Structure 1
Amino acid sequence: MASESVEWARAFGLVDSGHQVWRLLMADAAGLAGRACPDGPVDGLQLLTDMISWLFVMDDACDEDGLGADPGRLAPAIATLLDVLDRCGDPDVVPSAAGPLGDALHDLCRRTRARGRPALLLRFVSQVREYLLALLWEATNRERRRVPPVAEYVQLRRHIGGVHPCLTLTDLASEEPSGPAGRAEPAMVTLEMLAVDLVCWCNDLFSYGKESRADPDAHNLVTVIAQESGTDEAVALRAVADRFNRGLAAYLVAEGALLADGDDGLRPALTARRNWVRATYDWSLVAARYA
């Protein structure tokens, strides 16, 4: 699965140098996808792996290759990608001059559309759109050397993490994804938000060392807590770990309440969200991406 996803990225020109290929291999998108969706069909798992690879390439372009430090440069790229999303993967409409990121995104949308679940396609497109727009917020902060307050960061981090569209593709790989009525339940919305927060905060803890070496003002929950509270790095790291643990406890309570309701239609979605939280932690322990 890993080699297939790297070849997919190379075919679309997402990676074209030895360093970029190595960087994507070290990210181990297949390892993360396999942990998050262990029982999914091969085609569903490949789609999820390719989506994670696309997110890694986009994040690296912003964080390490400079695209995300200049809103004026990033905005046209985002506009092109939004145009791709507006086509919702229509196989009869090929986006013109979309570039490697746009062409690969169109392929992801096309394959999502081909699974024949329109509601999940529209959810996926909407969530990727939110991710892209949040990148502009991040780029503006970088340009101004602005460290956002904690509440603002937590809200936007849910979108910049790219977790929502990955959850949707995990649901798509399920033989029995929950219906829109179940997903609209306030308790389910709360649980999903908690799951996304946990994935993002776990990522911030594991990536902080690498990110802080490259950019002291990096967008990371440790950084924003240290800035807002005036504490040092060690205290901020402990605060993020405590926040994660409190969030995990709240997640388990929310999950238990939904399971107690006896709605078997929600069980695949609950399993997927639990898997994603655990998968992120286990993958982060061994991921060379944060070395």
Structure 2
Amino acid sequence: MRTFAVSALREPPFPARQHDATPRVARESTEWALSHGLIANGHRLHRLRRADAAGLAGRACPEGPVDGLRLLTDLISWLFVMDDACDEDGLGDSPTRLAPTVAALLDVLDGHGERTDAPATAAGPLGEALGDLCRRAHAAGGPVALLRFVGEVREYLLALLWEAANREHGRAPGLAEYVQMRRHTGGVHPSFTLTELAAGALPGATHRTEPSLVALDLLAADLICWCNDVFSYGKEHLGQPDAHNLVAVIAAGRTDGDESSALRAAADRFNEGLTAYLATEAALLATGDDDLRPALIARRNWIRATYDWSLGAARYA
């Protein structure tokens, strides 16, 4: 599948870079995951190391303070652990099984990650680690960054329940529905927020509601998720097929269900999206608004990072 992805996907025309502190942050983030009980020595530790969260974060955030890179890497590690629990360990097989964990994590978000004297929540290590991420986002960016981050993680968690309901009923979503929900199940938006926070330049409310930036944001999220879907499709369909992949959704919507045609259609969708992204970005750059540049750079970096990281990701081997 990697060979197909390389041949079919257009390489994003952005510079490939990586943060110098990536190896150090990889070690520190693994220790963070161990200290919060997200993983233990053994299979889950091996799985998280293979995922290479720091490799992805270091490409998406190739410069800036190490603390910012650490926070982004820890978020990606948390997302990998949560996704693996749902996709590989059975937590996401049904909404009734997943709901108590989501409720406990929402409780953490409602409290903005603040520690209380209450007993440990049903979310356990996932909740403790999420609380730590919230507190650090608040310390780094204040209430604005915290509220944005909390809202985006909330959307991610609720989207996981949508996936679980589909799995329980053997339901394949339609293409438009999948595209909308994939932006949230991919955890892209909170990752953008922490990347911008690491650069010290979160867009203000005026820019956040600018229609062109909103459109660019959605295009970037789509490109990241679709690139991921094409690269990961082979691994995901070695075992029990999962309908939550762009290739699978396209194949399910075709009368012949042809996999090779669906793969090509998914790649075409990525390539067309990249063309649209470049045109939208060029229009924003032409405004000469320097306050927009950090947000544009963050999205460029993420698109390129996802492509480069996927080329060697052991997670999809």
On whether the aligned pair clears a TM of 0.5, the verdict is: yes
Specify the SS of the correspondent of 2:238: helix
Number of positions where the alignment pairs a residue of Structure 1 with one of Structure 2? 290
What's the counterpart of residue 297 of structure 2?
Answer: 271
What's the counterpart of residue 46 of structure 1?
Answer: 70
Which amino acid counterpart does residue 157 of structure 1 have in structure 2?
R
Which of 96, 106, 113 does residue 89 from structure 1 map onto? 113
Which amino acid counterpart does residue 205 of structure 1 have in structure 2?
V
Q: Distance in 1 between matches of 2:181 and 2:214?
A: 17
Which amino acid counterpart does residue 156 of structure 1 have in structure 2?
M
Q: Distance in 2 between matches of 1:127 and 1:200?
A: 16
What's the counterpart of residue 252 of structure 1?
Answer: 278
Q: Is the Cα contact below 8 Å between 2:141 and 2:197 reproduced in 1?
A: no
Which of 67, 76, 92 does residue 91 from structure 2 map onto? 67
Confirm or deny that 1:148 pairs with 2:203: no
Specify the SS of the correspondent of 1:115: helix
- Tell me by how many angstroms 1:95 deviates: 5.8
Q: Distance in 2 between matches of 1:112 and 1:95?
A: 22
Can you list the C-alpha shifts for 1:41-67, whole angstroms capped at 9, x where unaligned? Answer: 100000000000000000000000000
Q: Is the Cα contact below 8 Å between 2:69 and 2:198 reproduced in 1?
A: yes
Q: How does 1:87-166 map to 2 (within 5 A)?
A: 87-90=111-114, 93=116, 96-98=119-121, 99-166=124-191
- Structure 1's consecutive aligned runs of 4 or more residues displaced over 6 angstroms after TM superposition are none
Specify the SS of the correspondent of 1:213: coil
What's the counterpart of residue 52 of structure 2?
Answer: 28
- Tell me by how many angstroms 1:94 deviates: 5.8
Can you list the C-alpha shifts for 1:102-136, whole angstroms capped at 9, x where unaligned? Answer: 00000000101111432121111000000000000
What's the counterpart of residue 20 of structure 2?
Answer: none
Specify the SS of the correspondent of 2:253: helix
Q: Is the Cα contact below 8 Å between 1:145 and 1:217 reproduced in 2?
A: no
Q: Is the Cα contact below 8 Å between 1:195 and 1:273 reproduced in 2?
A: yes
Answer 1 or 2: which has greater helix percent.
1
Q: Is the Cα contact below 8 Å between 1:222 and 1:237 reproduced in 2?
A: yes
Confirm or deny that 1:239 pairs with 2:265: yes
Which of 193, 197, 206 does residue 231 from structure 2 map onto? 206
- Tell me by how many angstroms 1:218 deviates: 3.4
What's the counterpart of residue 169 of structure 1?
Answer: 194
State the percentage of identical aligned residues: 68
* Cα pair distance change 1:95/1:6, threshold 3 Å: farther
Specify the SS of the correspondent of 1:127: helix
Can you list the C-alpha shifts for 1:3-62, whole angstroms capped at 9, x where unaligned? Answer: 111111111111014110010000000000000000121000000000000000000000
* TM-score computed with the length of structure 1 as normaliser: 0.97
Q: Distance in 1 between matches of 2:142 and 2:282?
A: 28
Which of 211, 221, 225 does residue 196 from structure 1 map onto? 221
Q: Which has the higher contact order (CA 8 A, sep 6+)?
A: 2
* Cα pair distance change 1:244/1:102, threshold 3 Å: same
Q: Is the Cα contact below 8 Å between 1:176 and 1:268 reproduced in 2?
A: yes
Q: Distance in 1 between matches of 2:43 and 2:81?
A: 12
Can you list the C-alpha shifts for 1:219-261, whole angstroms capped at 9, x where unaligned? Answer: 1010010001133111000000000000000000000000000
What's the counterpart of residue 289 of structure 1?
Answer: 315
In structure 2, the gaps of 5 or more residues are 1-24
Which amino acid counterpart does residue 232 of structure 1 have in structure 2?
D
In structure 1, the gaps of 5 or more residues are none
Which amino acid counterpart does residue 185 of structure 1 have in structure 2?
E
Q: Distance in 2 between matches of 1:56 and 1:16?
A: 15
- Tell me by how many angstroms 1:214 deviates: 1.9
What's the counterpart of residue 80 of structure 2?
Answer: 56
Which amino acid counterpart does residue 116 of structure 2 have in structure 1?
V
